[in-house]
Homo-oligomer: A and B are copies of this chain.
Amino acid sequence: MLHTQEELLHIINKTITKEQFDYKPVELFEPIKYTLSLGGKHIRPLMLLMACEMFGGDINDGIYPAFGLEVFHNFTLIHDDILDNASLRRGKATVYKKWDLNRAILSGDTMFALSYDYFFRTKEEFIVPILKVFNKTAVEVCRGQQYDMNYETEKDVSIAAYIEMIRLKTAVLLGAAVKIGAIIGGAKEQDSIHIYNFAENLGIAFQLKDDILDLYSQQEVFGKETGGDIVSRKKTYLFLKACELADNELREQLVPLYLETSLEPQTKIKCVRAIFDKLKIKKVTEEEIDKYYKTALYHLDKITINKEDKASFYQFAKQLMKRDK
């Protein structure tokens, strides 16, 4: 009998609570404890454990690698918050703002190093294969972050380049999670490729959904102001697609408006949204999301195990797509 998602999340939370990071100097480990205490959805460790069990593995062999992924993910958040000059993360001050630049850099580095330690805490035979997957992914995540930074100032960003950026920045780590789970679960090579592709495509869909939610979700549900991407001039899928679909005249209206910084935020959001609506951008993006979602499901279908054992991943994918925040 497989664990339910709730049971797995409970196990993940217990592990996070147990790992105290009470080392010295406290200046280094305090920000690490703080970051991990902020919570989050724990999607990566969850996906790792789900994949591990689906292929018949023991979650006791997967729990520390799963935690390692969570530590790594939180390291990337600490450094990303510096790069983005972000003040808030999960409603609390970012490490960079709560302490200072130096501590954010160094506690991030330490977290990165610590994350590797957890991949040793599994059966000997799994260590090298999972470390290879993890390490390749870590470099890809850095590359994705650099593309993201590049695109802030680049004038012409293609849709393909944008998708590649979100693939590297977000999707590959979900892919790594399930692939590591598959290795620990003893999956066949072909199945581990399919589960990777499933998660990668789901990750791209997830990230595109983020772009929609930022503008079109209900503010009460979303939990923060909508339209933030427009105010901060972020080159989202919505914007890039609008540039592609607009005729010259409309594009010459949209681009300067979008890059504008002096307009009152609500006015800017309203005007940009009007152009997006004219071009049916929400619907177009939803169709794109559906394309990635369907590709993800195709790969899940292809996995050569009982359909019942895959049920939790079908449900998980559906949930992610239905989310409204």
- B-binding residues in A (CB < 8 A): 23-25, 27-28, 79, 82-83, 101-103, 105-106, 108-110, 112-114, 116-117, 120, 124, 127-128, 131-132, 135-136, 138-139, 142-143, 145-147, 149-150
Task: State the 9 A-B residue pairs at the shortest beta-carbon distance, nearest first.
Answer: A113-B138, A110-B142, A28-B146, A113-B139, A116-B135, A83-B102, A25-B146, A127-B128, A109-B142
Given contacts A135-B113, A135-B116, is CB(A106)–CB(B28) below 8 Å? no
Which chain B residues border A149 with CB–CB below 8 Å? 27, 102, 106
The answer to whether A105 touches B79, judged by C-beta atoms less than 8 angstroms apart, is yes
Can you tell how many copies of this chain the complex includes? 2
| A131, B46: Cα distance in complex, Å | 26
The answer to whether B139 touches A128, judged by C-beta atoms less than 8 angstroms apart, is no
| A117, B134: Cα distance in complex, Å | 10
| A131, B146: Cα distance in complex, Å | 27
| A23, B146: Cα distance in complex, Å | 12
The answer to whether B24 touches A143, judged by C-beta atoms less than 8 angstroms apart, is yes
Which chain B residues border A102 with CB–CB below 8 Å? 82-83, 149
Which chain B residues border A131 with CB–CB below 8 Å? 116, 120, 131
Which chain B residues border A27 with CB–CB below 8 Å? 146, 149-150
